[in-house]
Structure 1
Amino acid sequence: MGHLAAVPWHAARRPAPGGRYRYAVQDAVLSYAASARLFCEVVAREPVPRDAPGLVVGNPTGDLPHAGREAAALHAAFYRGAPYLGRHESGTSSGTGTPAQVLGWLRLRGLSPGGVLHLACHADVPRDAAARTARLHLAGGTLAAEQLTERAQHRNRPGRLGLVSLAACTTHVSGRGYDEAFTLSTAFLVEGARSVLGSLWPVPDAATSYLMFMVHHYLNAEGARPAVALRLAQLWMLDPDRRPPASMPPELARQAGTVDPDDLRGWAGFTHLGQ
């Protein structure tokens, strides 16, 4: 309830030999749910084919260079067949990443299932009580959690999405309603996703880039399901002797060892919801 909704239970810890800590994520796969009803609905959803169309959105507002490089790296390594929206250093983007473009892609998921939707952008929960709603900042506008839930209520056919990975700040924080009811993560589950990765606080750009790359590495190179892929990526972040995989671009790999494993901001903010 309230602030407890933002507690990263997977980062619960106990003392370990050598003056370090052992975290819950090192012993178990943890997932989160906004309600028992939503959890049961999501678990009952059919699998989405691994080759279903995906979408990558990177740095649509033009002021998140780390997010842009992260999204471009994921697109090049794992999702070359997916459209790329937003700022792309190679100049090969197929759109600017507006709310209308993202909603248009989601609308198609009522006709055919979608694979991975990756959003590397800004997100926030405004302090203004009259407008407190979780929202993504895209090119030329925002996409609010309520827009997703209202779409789900009024459409004739439910959407089908495999995974939505929200590489943005506070995407599993609610500004309105009860607890996690109107977080962006929960809203994408209502929209039709089987799994969502969302964050509990403002996450650091560089560490998020490494974490997200490793999540998608474990998803694609090792066939891990999303909850396990997130856990494996978090364990990789906790390893002071971490080694980047061969698929990681050189500009990312060169700095992979600089992330402090004891800095919880870099890995513990991300949660898994769904299957």
Structure 2
Amino acid sequence: APPVGGPELRRQLDRLCGWAWYAAMRPLLDAFSAPGRPDRIPRLVLVPMGRLGLVPWHAAYRVTGPGRRRYAVQDADLSYAASARLLCEVADRPAAARTSGALVVGDPTGDLVYAGQEADAVQRLFYPDGRFVGRRGSGAADGAGTPAEVLDWLRGDDSRDGVLHLACHASVTDNARRSAGLSLYGGTLFAEELTGASAGAGTDGPALVLLAACRSHVSGHGDNEAFTLATAFLVAGARSVVGSLWPVPDEATSVLMLLTHHFLRREQEPPARALRRAQLWMLGAGRGPVAGLPDELAARAARVDPDDLSAWAGFTHLGR
């Protein structure tokens, strides 16, 4: 695989997303456009099959001028689903109540410095009453970030309508009995363990699970299988999940995740729109100061190249 955020990955993504515009997104957006209503943004849910599930369709682009692009995410609110059946099941779950309950897991293995700083800032700024487990920049954590701590939270009352943020490593092993997992302190939490974790048996789980981890929406069971860490959390009762399609660069990811929580909490956007607005901010659309953004993260944000697809396009929204 190309290095995380390296020029080869960027070149491949440029070619793929240029193709994706003409292959599917241009006719799709044309069909849902509203002439005379530029303020109307369609909400589309894509159910891509096979290898098409590895394409970030929201990052499909057309060239609008010298050095200028326009991406699908600028014209539509795009989410994904593993199947129509799972989409209907999630849509039928009761709307989440607004809550400050959260579990934030930051750098539990001790080798993701930016992820640890990101998670620390997320908990302090947006979920001061929530729990932090793992390693943080300053102050004490509420735990080491073990698989048992995450499972206990998912099975407990605090998870209902709460937010789970996981800033850690993820791995995918092709055709293995345990195909995908999150690297936590002292062990791995596998997708297969998550599907039965919710105390609400698929109805009363977290409002949002945000997987700031590499390849957290990639299947290890072949292209036509929909079993990923992201879909496992949906099966476990989550209403929305954000997962990634490739190894994501740590620095840019920390900015995108903090912005997503900002729009979710400060501006009360639903998860899909919060992620979209964060990605638009990364693209430079309305980019401006974000209240409360730590100076170090603000400096990182200023260095983000809007046309570096590896920095922002890998994250997808699933669920309601």
Q: Do both proteins adopt the same fold according to a TM-score greater than 0.5, normalized to the shorter chain?
A: yes
Consecutive unaligned residues of structure 2, counting only runs of 5 or more, are: 1-48
Partner of 2:163: 116
Are 1:204 and 2:249 counterparts? yes
Partner of 1:243: 288
Consecutive unaligned residues of structure 1, counting only runs of 5 or more, are: none
1:141 to 176, 187, 208: 187
Are 1:93 and 2:123 counterparts? no
Moved over 4 A (4+): 154-158
Structure 1 pair 130–217 and aligned structure 2 pair: CA distance change class (3 A): closer
Give the superposed CA RMSD. Answer: 2.0
- Asked if structure 2 preserves the Cα contact closer than 8 Å seen for 1:59 and 1:68, the reply is yes
For the residue of structure 2 that corresponds to 1:93, the secondary structure is: coil
Distance 1:180 1:11 in 2: 23
Partner of 1:49: 97
Structure 1 pair 161–155 and aligned structure 2 pair: CA distance change class (3 A): closer
More displaced stretch, 172-181 vs 12-21: 172-181
Task: Answer 1 or 2: higher relative contact order, Cα 8 Å, separation at least 6.
Answer: 1
- Write out aligned runs for 1:1-275 (5 A): 1-51=49-99, 53-109=101-157, 113-127=160-174, 129-131=175-177, 133-151=179-197, 158-176=203-221, 179=224, 181-239=226-284, 242-275=287-320
TM-score, normalising length: structure 1: 0.93
| Residue 130 of structure 1, CA deviation | 3.4
Distance 1:161 1:44 in 2: 15
| Residue 177 of structure 1, CA deviation | 5.8
Partner of 2:12: none
| Residue 243 of structure 1, CA deviation | 2.6
Match of 1:140, as an amino acid?
Answer: G
Structure 1 pair 156–213 and aligned structure 2 pair: CA distance change class (3 A): closer
More displaced stretch, 254-263 vs 31-40: 254-263
| Residue 244 of structure 1, CA deviation | 3.3
Structure 1 pair 51–130 and aligned structure 2 pair: CA distance change class (3 A): closer
For the residue of structure 1 that corresponds to 2:317, the secondary structure is: strand
| Residue 179 of structure 1, CA deviation | 3.4
Amino-acid identity (%): 60
| Residue 131 of structure 1, CA deviation | 4.3
Match of 1:167, as an amino acid?
Answer: A
For the residue of structure 2 that corresponds to 1:55, the secondary structure is: strand
TM-score, normalising length: structure 2: 0.80
The higher radius of gyration belongs to 2
